[in-house]
Structure 1
Amino acid sequence: MYWNVGEAVRVRDVIDSLEAAYPTELAESWDAVGLVCGDPGAVVQRVLFCVDPTEATVDEAIDFGAQLLVAHHPLLLRGVNGVPADDHKGRVVHRLIRAGIGLYCAHTNADSANPGVSDALAEAIGLRVHRPLAPHHEGAATGLGRIGELPEPEPFRSFVQRVADNLPTTAWGVRGAGEPERPIRTVAVSGGSGDSFLDAAAAAGVDAYVTADLRHHPAGEHIARAEVPGTSVPALVDVAHWASEWPWCQQAADVVAAALPDTVEVLVSTRRTDPWTVHTGAATDPGRALA
């Protein structure tokens, strides 16, 4: 984009830069992306980037003096008949409007873009990305998830620690399912809930698969397949949903910073909007847990 000296940056200019990187046509048909509230013609000097548009991130946007909040998760994904101020989502909308802050959401379009959410996750844990895990079509650079490679193989227990060390700390933590000493070199990742790609990860022949929100039965059935002679399936690493997508916030902030003049300041939210707040360890006496 070209800017005349003294020309103000508008909300629509920020949106243009985001949609050039994360085209809305990449969004799934059920998704709700785009400008939720705010005036496209409003002047922008500060933009805050977050995973979840919650009251906590609205507080942060107000404290920062932002005119636009860019979130990954949609605020109004399902149809609503109103946004009353005594409802959680309605309260968020009312607070944003009263503060003069717009809200823009880039969700599955940011998941599928190249680079996108899973590229940011892969970069955070030190992978060199090769291709999408679930490309839009054969040979496409866009699609969901990514397949990458570590610089050198390392034991699975070390790889799980690598993931934990390079993502934000959460009460959910980081869990691994697999043989602790198994060498890990090739890795599939999918930011957000990714157990729908367990078969794709297995078909890709990777050593490990990193995602969020893995459920008991799909994960257990996946690991059980390794007991079949001649069958190998990826070890699993399960992280908090919020933590898996938070690296994207810096990627999106960099997109806007690169496209717009220095008069626009960007900030990545540091509010932990993962819903889990307490995580206790295993019982000191394993037998007691089964008593």
Structure 2
Amino acid sequence: MTTRIRDVLDVLETAYPPSFAESWDAVGLVCGDPEATVRRVLCCVDPVEETVEAAVEQGAQLLVSHHPLLLRGVNALPADDPKGRLLHRLIRSGVGLYCAHTNADTANPGVSDALAARLGLTVTGPLSPHREGADTGLGRIGTLPEPEPFEEFVRRVAEALPTTSWGARGAGSPRRLVERVAVCGGSGDSHLETATAAGVDAYVTADLRHHPAAEHLARADVPGVSVPNLVDVAHWASEWPWCEQAADILGGALPDTVEVLVSSCRTDPWTVHAHGRATESGRKPE
């Protein structure tokens, strides 16, 4: 039985309906012939030089990425432009590119389900549902098998996700017991209020900024308000578990003649981590 790109797209778009994507997003088939035969698929977070080369070298006919290659409109894609070079490389090599972005973020299961599973959480529902009672939406809320101190939970997060220079950073009392957790793969500081309203003990996401995080934690001093501790991880690491999820969905639906692989390329842009001189709280560094 011959499997074509369109057959793979049918599986992907059943799991991650394009209608779930935000209006500003760019999801779907970027390049490739829907009628082309597929024998190997590679799943990744970022369509960048490393993953494109991996797809070519591993003999894939389709690269499935989470992040879009062309999120903003362009008028030209010459081969001497970084994104144009990638697109030309894909086309010349006969490799299609498909992107599932915010539709994969909100689907059930989706990006945050994969993150929650990595952390050992039992998911109870979305953090920000599409509508009341829906099981789709951004982020997930889940519970740990048993409560554990926050400092142990931060280590759990670090050990569960791929290693990055960013690592896992925790904010809040190290000894606070954590049992109920909210997660949001990708940039999630716009959901700090939602996580607080959900009454969780900790919130795991990526790209937390200084001021929103500090202002969030300051609310712990407000009577009657309980704010979750925060865990900040690398954007790429928070979404990488989705690659395994997508590969499992494709592998379970496509014939055995199609091999589905997960990219091992670490495409997080941060490559160096260093600690500066330690300072005492409240004292300026010398």
- When normalised by structure 1's length, the TM-score is 0.96
**Alpha-carbon distance in structure 2 between the residues aligned to 1:149 and 1:185:** 6
Could you say which residue in structure 2 is the equivalent of 1:75? 69
Name the SS for the 1:25 alignment partner. Answer: helix
Could you say which residue in structure 1 is the equivalent of 2:230? 236
Could you say which residue in structure 1 is the equivalent of 2:184? 190
How far off its partner does 1:289 sit?
A: 7.0
**Residues 116-144 of structure 1: CA distance to partner in whole angstroms, max 9, x if unpaired?**
00000000000000000000000001100
How far off its partner does 1:73 sit?
A: 0.1
Could you say which residue in structure 1 is the equivalent of 2:160? 166
In terms of mean alpha carbon deviation, does 276-285 or 46-55 score higher?
276-285
**Residues 126-166 of structure 1: CA distance to partner in whole angstroms, max 9, x if unpaired?**
00000000000000011000000000000000000000000
- Cα 1:82/1:231, change in 2 over 3 Å: same
How far off its partner does 1:63 sit?
A: 1.4
Could you say which residue in structure 2 is the equivalent of 1:89? 83
**Alpha-carbon distance in structure 2 between the residues aligned to 1:136 and 1:271:** 33
How far off its partner does 1:227 sit?
A: 1.3
Paired AA for residue 239 in structure 2: E
Structure 1 residues not aligned, in runs of 5+: 1-6
How far off its partner does 1:231 sit?
A: 1.7
8 Å CA contact retained: 1:33, 1:74: yes
RMSD of aligned Cα (Å): 1.2
8 Å CA contact retained: 1:283, 1:289: no
Could you say which residue in structure 2 is the equivalent of 1:290? 285
**Residues 181-227 of structure 1: CA distance to partner in whole angstroms, max 9, x if unpaired?**
00000000000000000000000000000000000000000000001
Paired AA for residue 290 in structure 1: P
**Alpha-carbon distance in structure 1 between the residues aligned to 2:284 and 2:17:** 50
- When normalised by structure 2's length, the TM-score is 0.98
Identity %: 72
Could you say which residue in structure 2 is the equivalent of 1:217? 211
- For the pair 1:58 / 2:48, whether they are aligned, the reply is no
Q: For 1:251, which of 231, 245, 248 is the aligned residue?
A: 245
Matches within 5 A, 1:3-152: 7-152=1-146
- For the pair 1:178 / 2:168, whether they are aligned, the reply is no
Could you say which residue in structure 2 is the equivalent of 1:3? none
Q: For 1:264, which of 255, 258, 261 is the aligned residue?
A: 258
Structure 2 residues not aligned, in runs of 5+: none
Give aligned pairs, total.
285
Superposition misfits of 4+ residues, deviation over 6 angstroms? none
Paired AA for residue 23 in structure 2: S
